[in-house]
Amino acid sequence: MIKGELFIISSPAGAGKTTLTNLLLEEDEKLKRVITYTTRKKRKNEIDGVDYVFVAKEVFELMIKENAFLEYAIVHGNYYGTPKKETFELLNQGFDVILVIDVQGMKQIKSVIPEAISIFILPPSLKELESRMRIRGESEEEIQKRLETAKREIPHWKEYDYIIINENLLESKENLSHIIKSQRFKRQRFNLSLIKDDELRSLML
């Protein structure tokens, strides 16, 4: 039995999923992130093993053969994948796990783990999305490519369990935190060992 809860966060590039996830991880010690493996080139501000695990195409394809991914995809010619082993290890230790993946990845995971909880983060507007991409210093070509991807991804909001409009970063972080923490009180996750009083526990059996 899986002890933790699996959360899937998706959003168009620039809507804030990575920043939000990092803010959540900082303040919630019961929540862990599984780092995505990728074959894309590392950007200047990224750290290997923190933002992504950067691997060679040959390594990634070997891992596919060994069925090492919970889901994987090719985006803009690069592989991205969620490692199975790390995910289940954390869940079995009782951690909640957050995966930052795209729409296709969400669907793959839901087909294997239907009880995973999916959250779609929307930008307040397309203009805002574009301007956040510009702040990140991406090239005009890259921006246009990502905007097209965003426009293809946004209609899939309807397939997610929860929807958050990221207008204000701290507010959105609070709202995500409500979604994550509320799951911990679901009856299905309640564990009688939390009750220290023998008399009360025996009434609850």
Helix (H, G, I), strand (E, B) or coil at 91: helix
> 41, 44, 65, 186: which one contacts a second copy (CB under 8 A)?
186
3 belongs to the binding site for a second copy (CB under 8 A): no
Residue 17 is labelled as binding a ligand: yes
Residue 19 is labelled as binding a ligand: no
Residue closer to a second copy, measured from CB, 58 or 199: 199
Residue closer to a second copy, measured from CB, 7 or 69: 7
185 belongs to the binding site for a second copy (CB under 8 A): yes
Helix (H, G, I), strand (E, B) or coil at 170: helix
Stretch that binds a second copy, among 3-11, 21-29, 62-70, 195-203 (CB under 8 A): 195-203
How many CB atoms lie under 10 A from the CB of residue 149?
Answer: 16
| Beta-carbon contacts of residue 165 (< 8 Å; ≥ 6 apart) | 121, 122, 123, 124, 172
| Beta-carbon contacts of residue 118 (< 8 Å; ≥ 6 apart) | 7, 8, 9, 10, 106, 110, 159, 160, 161, 162
Residue closer to a second copy, measured from CB, 88 or 157: 157
| Beta-carbon contacts of residue 111 (< 8 Å; ≥ 6 apart) | none
169 belongs to the binding site for a second copy (CB under 8 A): no
151 belongs to the binding site for a second copy (CB under 8 A): yes
| Beta-carbon contacts of residue 191 (< 8 Å; ≥ 6 apart) | none
Summarize as ranges the residues that interact with a second copy (CB under 8 A).
119, 122-128, 151, 154-155, 157-158, 160-165, 175, 177-179, 181-182, 184-187, 190, 194-197, 199-200, 203-204
